[in-house]
Structure formats: structure tokens, C-alpha cells
Amino acid sequence: MERIAFFDARSYDRTYFDRLSPGAGLELFYLENKLTPDTAVLAQNASAVCAFVNDDLGKETLPLLAKYGVRAIALRCAGYNNVDLKTAAKYGIRVFRVPAYSPASVAEHALALLLTLTRQTHRAFTRTRERNFSLEGLVGTNIEGKCVGVIGTGKVGMRFAAMVQGLGAKVYAYDPKPVWGAGVEYVGLNELIRQADVLSLHCPLTPSTYHLLNRDAFCAMKDGVILLNTSRGALIDSEALLDHIKSGKVGAAGLDVYEEEADIFYEDVSGKVMRDDTLNLLLSQPNVLVTSHQAFLTKEALEAIAKTTVENLRKFFAGETVENELTAGRP
């Protein structure tokens, strides 16, 4: 049995991984700690680590993992902006991911955020719980007839586009690698930002997309635009977003991610003082809806993540080709 250090483990992870790992010859030991240079020592005697989106797999952590005998990193997610792939390859550590576990899960969550914001059901729920059945201040807006801009037309972006098209929206899309013939109209990024009534992010975080929506981008948007982000927090300049929410330029924002989320999301910090003033102010706005990076969190997605992650590791230890490898071909 190959020992796997499973970092940032949650109960919902164990439910699905425990079903599959024994049959693949894997012995998982679960750690609630996030993977950092300080916690890398917990991977001693492990052949591989299983990591998630907020684990630190940078230049300080990777040499330590190599020192402790770790030969592979199995990401149980699609994004890998938290991994220094060049350093991993330098130390001979193979890196695998789960490229497409459930596009519908993330797309449906983005749609849920949009519908909640346009019909203010989150505010209505709070009111009626207090026996307040007034409709004052709850006037919504239709999605039908609106222009929805989709940035990133991978599997999630295309699924979201199809959903809002089904509601009667006009979809414009931007992607450096367009999927022609897919039923969406591609335009330049600047034009999309200017035209969109709703702007939804479905792209990876890379050096070129860091703060893709910055102050200049916000200034170019329509007044009252609705912004959705279910991808990576750092795609948006959070301070610029807050300023434009306060000015009224951004009519509403649905955020499942936040650029400084690493020490906050997935944790219960309700009894602590939160020192992130930008996030505190965003949470205080009635037209901002924040969820804790949960767009992936469905039974179907969790099962698919576990299945692909376990299969990636099984193939690696069996000496087979792993199609989902990120380090293949790197020096």
C-alpha cells in the first residue's frame, strides 16, 4: 500500500475517498492542516500528497516534500495556480490534477448566485424569517433580454452560457482560444466588458489574468453591471470592486472566491476578529453575496474528484501514463 498524506481534509472528502482508495492500493492518512512549508514535515514517509486549492505548493514547500520522500502531488481540483510546476519538475515531483470533475456543478452555482441577486431572494429569506412580509425594496430584474458576458469558454463557461441562453439572455463571450460553432458570439474583451449587463468569470488564474478586472475595466463597464466570480479570487482587484460597488457602478456581485481567501474560506471564523477590511466591507453590502468557494460542492462533483484523483495515483504507482499530468515534458 502506498501512503498518501491528504492535506486540508474535510468530512465530505473522506466519504468518497475512503470508498475508492483501498481498491487502488492507497493508504490515505487525513490531515486537517493546510500544506505549507511549516506543515510539510507531516508528509514524512508518504509517497505522495493530496492537496487542494489553498495549499501552498511553492518554492519553499516543494524542496521539503522532496526531502521527505514525496514523489507525486495529486491535486483534487482543476486549478493549479498554487503550484510552482518548474520547481516540482526540478525536484522530480510529478503533479496531477482533476481537469473537469463536474462543469454543471460550478455553472449551476454561478446561475444560483445570479438568480439570487436579480430576485433578492437572500434578503427576502431574512425578512420572512423575522415575519416581515413587505415587498418594499425587493424589486428584481429579469435575466431574459439581458446581455450576459462570459469570460472563459471552457466546459464550465460554456455550460453557464447555455443556462442563461435558456433563460432568454443574449450571450457574448471572450476567450483567447474560442470554441467556434458552440452557439455563443465571441467579441474582444474590451467590447464584452462594455456591453455586458452581467459579467461572469470562468477562466484560470495565470500571470496574464491576474486582476483581469481592474480599475480601468470597472470604469468601462455599464452602470449597474452584475458581476459573478466562481473561478479564482485574484481575477478581480477586490479593492477596486469595493470602490465601484460603493459608487453604484457595480449593481451587484456574487463571489464564490476571494483573492485573500486562503486563511478564511473553509474555516469557521465566526468567533474571531476578521482583519481583512476589504472582505468585511464587501460582506456588509446588501448587494454582495459571498459563498465560501463551494461551487464545486455537490455529491456528483465530489465523487468525480475522488475517482479521478485516485485513478491518477494508481496509474502513477503502476508506472502507467497519467493523462492529467501537469509536469509531463517539463525539464
For 172-230, write each residue's pLDDT tens digit.
999 999 988 778 999 999 999 999 999 999 999 999 999 999 999 999 999 999 999 99
Active-site residues: which are they? 232, 261, 293
CA 24/CA 294 separation, integer angstroms: 28
Domain presence at residue 19: yes
* Tens digit of each residue's pLDDT (9 = 90 or more) over 1-19: 999 999 999 999 999 999 9
Q: Is 111 in the same domain as 250?
A: yes
36 has pLDDT over 90? yes
pLDDT number for residue 308: 97
- Dihedral sign from CA coordinates of 160, 161, 166, 170: positive
| Intra-chain end-to-end CA distance of the chain, in Å | 30
What is the biggest distance separating any 2 CA atoms in the chain, rounded to whole angstroms? 65
**DSSP characters over 91-102:** TT-EEE--S-S-
Which of the four pLDDT bands, split at 50, 70 and 90, describes residue 93? very high
The three cell numbers locating residue 295:
461551487
* Tens digit of each residue's pLDDT (9 = 90 or more) over 124-160: 999 999 999 999 999 999 999 999 999 999 999 999 9
Q: Is 179 in the same domain as 251?
A: yes
Domain presence at residue 324: no
- What angle do helix axes 299-317 and 103-119 make, rounded to 10 degrees? 150
Side-chain half-sphere CA neighbours of 191 within 13 A = 9
Domain region containing 52: 2-101+298-317
The three cell numbers locating residue 13:
472528502
| Average pLDDT of span 258-280 | 92
- Count of the separate structural domains present in the chain: 2
Domain presence at residue 119: yes
Q: Is 202 in the same domain as 224?
A: yes
| Average pLDDT of span 66-71 | 97
Q: For residue 280, what is the enclosing H or E element?
A: helix 277-284
CA 247/CA 264 separation, integer angstroms: 27
